[in-house]
């Protein structure tokens, strides 16, 4: 071994220790600017991997961390890197695609350009215009596909139309497709899944996914550089144009006018347009009327907030992808309390994984309650007829459908009376309405409720049954 080799062996560990310490400083800066709950969930699990030639690589537990860090905390991360490592640092994320399998490791560069991290390299009107059209980077995320998109009544129509377009791009019945719905219900995943499948079927297809904010930024740059014609020409050459959050163009009159001409050209040439928004065209104030009329001329589909079954499916899929085993009672607790968006559900699973891994704790109701308390407002559950029927049938181990039959079997009759009693006790449903749901009369429901109330003081087994069912309903 020569002197130079020995010298390098001494220097590099020292350098890595130095950069590892710098990453600790970044962590401290981030911790000072976040709540302890957010820091513990999203940044405490991150560790230093390496630093070389201006490239910082950090370890993250899963690809979902990459998505969340990029979407929610990138500005803060950039500020920390600039302060500690200096301007011009490039950020990379390192993770194993399969838990505890280093051979599946992936290193991914941050998906967004930031002047604080990397100075602009002569930004052009359009980052794609110098490439041949058939080589256009689709900007699609391959993990956003139909295979891992959970379906239910809340999104069934939108998914069916999306698959129809993806499987037969020549079908122009749904052109443009306008997907709307609240934040976090899966719009971005769905519209990208369409593009991903089209590219799978036809790799030469010129498919482009872009957010309206990036479209606006490209337009502004093109205008400043006098390259509006190049900008329009590029977009008129796209086969499938997918624009996310189109509502962000509201108030941008010049950009809307330019997009109007691009839209018309693509539509007239039988090219597919797919748009998403947090509201339907009819509610978009500040958008050019002629654009709105074209949006309305296509197919508008709404994705509703996720229903209970969809929330459970999302939890199961995300847990499976992260190699996480979540007990059924914990799954039910999360699905019952995190009701607004799919993105929140995925974040909860990531937080559970982080807490369970780094605190060396089992995943149970108490851990889930702590995680949810830091992420969402836990619902004070409003029970309804369906909830109570499901809990009663689970407790008595019978098919919920049997409760609605005319069967007089003792176990079914007892369960039916219990449903009547608990619905009366925990909801505001009138006796007549309860009876109508069970095809019984008002008098039958009243008799059942009175019968159980009279037995409660003298029937210990009945007391225990009611207590057990009500406990399950509260979890």
**The pair of three-digit structure tokens given for residue 193, joined into one six-digit string:** 């899944």
Query: pLDDT at position 382, please?
Result: 63
Q: Is the pLDDT of residue 247 over 60?
A: yes
| Cα separation, 166 vs 192, whole angstroms | 10
From edge to edge, which strands make up the β-sheet containing 90-96? Answer: 47-52, 55-59, 90-96, 105-109
- State the Rg of the chain over Cα: 28
Question: CA angle at residue 407 from 403 to 408, to 5 degrees?
Answer: 110
Q: Is the pLDDT of residue 42 over 70?
A: yes
Task: Tell me, yes or no, if the pTM score tops 0.85.
Answer: no
pLDDT digits over 117-128, tens only?
333 333 333 444
Look-up of token digits 């607790």? 333
Query: pLDDT at position 323, please?
Result: 67
Q: What is the average pLDDT value for the chain, to the nearest integer?
A: 79
Residue 138: other Cβ atoms inside 10 A? 22
Q: Are 126 and 262 in contact (CB under 8 A)?
A: no
Residue 19: other Cβ atoms inside 10 A? 18
| Cα separation, 363 vs 358, whole angstroms | 12
| pLDDT band at residue 474 using 50, 70 and 90 as cut-offs | confident
Contacts of 137 (CB under 8 A, 6+ apart): 128, 131
pLDDT over 90 percentage in the chain: 7
| Cα separation, 126 vs 232, whole angstroms | 10
* Consecutive H or E run containing 405: none
| DSSP 8-class letter at 320 | H
Q: Is the pLDDT of residue 131 over 50?
A: no
| pLDDT band at residue 130 using 50, 70 and 90 as cut-offs | very low
Q: Partners of 109 in the beta sheet?
A: 92
Give first-to-last CA distance, the chain, whole Å: 65
| Cα separation, 42 vs 39, whole angstroms | 5
| Cα separation, 386 vs 376, whole angstroms | 24
Q: Are 361 and 385 in contact (CB under 8 A)?
A: no
What is the arithmetic mean of pLDDT over 33-59?
A: 87
Give the side-chain half-sphere CA count within 13 A for 7: 3
**The pair of three-digit structure tokens given for residue 322, joined into one six-digit string:** 């992260």
What is the arithmetic mean of pLDDT over 131-135?
A: 48
Distances from the Cα of 280 to the Cα of 12, 180, 181, 271, 419, angstroms: 57, 6, 8, 22, 40
Q: Is the pLDDT of residue 241 over 90?
A: yes
Query: pLDDT at position 418, please?
Result: 92
Q: Is the pLDDT of residue 4 over 70?
A: no
Quote the strand ranges of 165-258, DSSP E. 177-180, 207-211, 240-244
pLDDT digits over 54-113, tens only?
889 999 887 777 777 877 788 888 888 888 888 888 888 887 755 556 665 667 777 543
Q: What are phi and psi of 55, to 5 degrees?
A: -110, 115
Look-up of token digits 């009366």? 424
Residues in the chain: 475
Q: What 3-state class would DSSP assign to 174?
A: coil
Q: What 3-state class would DSSP assign to 455?
A: helix
Give the side-chain half-sphere CA count within 13 A for 233: 11
Query: pLDDT at position 124, please?
Result: 32
Q: Are 185 and 305 in contact (CB under 8 A)?
A: yes
Query: pLDDT at position 3, please?
Result: 35
Residue 239: other Cβ atoms inside 10 A? 19
| Cα separation, 457 vs 391, whole angstroms | 23
Query: pLDDT at position 311, please?
Result: 82
Contacts of 23 (CB under 8 A, 6+ apart): 47, 48, 51, 56, 58, 84
Question: CA angle at residue 250 from 249 to 254, to 5 degrees?
Answer: 65
pLDDT digits over 359-401, tens only?
677 777 777 777 777 665 444 456 788 889 888 999 999 888 8
| Cα separation, 334 vs 323, whole angstroms | 18
């Amino acid at each position: 071994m020569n002197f130079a080799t020995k010298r390098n062996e001494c220097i590099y560990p020292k350098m890595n220790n130095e950069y590892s310490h710098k990453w600790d400083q970044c962590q401290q800066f981030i911790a000072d600017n976040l709540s302890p709950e957010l820091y513990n969930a999203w940044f405490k699990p991150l560790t230093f991997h390496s630093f070389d030639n201006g490239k910082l690589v950090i370890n993250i537990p899963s690809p979902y961390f990459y998505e969340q860090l990029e979407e929610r905390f990138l500005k803060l991360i950039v500020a920390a890197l600039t302060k500690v490592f200096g301007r011009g640092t490039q950020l990379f994320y390192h993770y194993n695609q399969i838990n505890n399998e280093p051979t599946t490791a992936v290193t991914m560069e941050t998906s967004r350009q930031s002047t604080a991290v990397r100075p602009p390299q002569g930004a052009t009107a359009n980052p794609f215009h110098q490439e041949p059209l058939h080589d256009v980077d689709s900007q699609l995320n391959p993990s956003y596909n139909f295979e891992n998109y959970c379906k239910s009544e809340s999104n069934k129509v939108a998914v069916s139309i999306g698959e129809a377009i993806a499987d037969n791009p020549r079908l122009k019945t749904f052109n443009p497709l306008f997907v709307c719905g609240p934040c976090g219900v899966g719009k971005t995943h769905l519209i990208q899944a369409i593009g991903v499948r089209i590219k799978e079927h036809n790799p030469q297809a010129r498919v482009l996914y872009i957010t309206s904010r990036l479209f606006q930024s490209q337009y502004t740059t093109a205008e400043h550089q006098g390259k509006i014609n190049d900008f329009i020409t590029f977009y008129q050459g796209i086969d499938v144009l997918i624009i996310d959050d189109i509502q962000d163009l509201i108030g941008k009159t010049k950009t809307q006018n330019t997009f109007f001409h691009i839209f018309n050209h693509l539509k007239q040439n039988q090219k597919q347009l797919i748009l998403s928004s947090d509201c339907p065209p009819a509610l978009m104030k500040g958008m050019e009327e002629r654009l709105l009329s074209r949006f309305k001329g296509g197919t508008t589909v709404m994705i509703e907030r996720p229903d209970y079954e969809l929330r459970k499916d999302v939890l199961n899929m995300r847990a499976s992808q992260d190699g996480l085993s979540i007990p059924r009672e914990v799954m039910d607790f999360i699905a019952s309390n995190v009701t607004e968006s799919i993105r929140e559900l995925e974040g909860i699973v990531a937080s559970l994984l982080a807490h369970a891994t780094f605190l060396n704790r089992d995943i149970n109701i108490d851990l889930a309650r702590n995680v949810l308390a830091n992420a969402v407002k836990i619902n004070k559950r409003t029970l309804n007829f369906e909830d109570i029927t499901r809990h009663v049938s689970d407790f008595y181990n019978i098919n919920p459908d049997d409760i609605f039959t005319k069967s007089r079997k003792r176990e079914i009759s007892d369960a039916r009376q219990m449903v009547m009693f608990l619905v009366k006790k925990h909801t505001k449903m009138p006796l007549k309405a309860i009876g109508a749901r069970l095809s019984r009369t008002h008098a039958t429901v009243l008799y059942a409720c009175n019968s159980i109330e009279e037995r409660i003081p003298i029937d210990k087994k009945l007391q225990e049954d009611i207590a057990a069912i009500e406990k399950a309903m509260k979890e």
